[in-house]
Amino acid sequence: MHEWHCHHINPYHLSKDDSYSNLVVIHKTIHQLVHLKDKVKIEALLQSLKLTSRQKEKVNKLRLRCQNEII
C-alpha cells in the first residue's frame, strides 16, 4: 500500500479543504510528477512512465491546481 498516495486536488494550503471530495488516490510516482518543478527530473520520470496523452492531460490538470507548469 506504500505505492499509493492520497493527493489534495485543490492544495490544502490554498483551500483548507480536507474533505473526501478534494482527495484522489494516485500512484506515488505520479504524485511526485504532480509536484516536481525540476525539469530534468520531470523528463526522467516521463521517459520511464511512458504516459499516454490522456494520462498526461490528467497529470497536467493536477499540476495546474498545484500552480505548477504543465508538462
Residue 2 banded pLDDT, cuts 50, 70, 90: confident
For the beta carbon of residue 62, count every other beta carbon within 10 angstroms.
21
Query: What whole-number distance in Å separates Cα of residue 9 and Cα of residue 65?
Result: 7
Q: Answer whether 64's CB lies under 8 Å from 70's CB.
A: yes
Domain boundaries, the chain: 4-65
Give SS3 for 4: strand
pLDDT digits (tens, 9 = 90+) for 45-63: 999 999 999 999 999 999 9
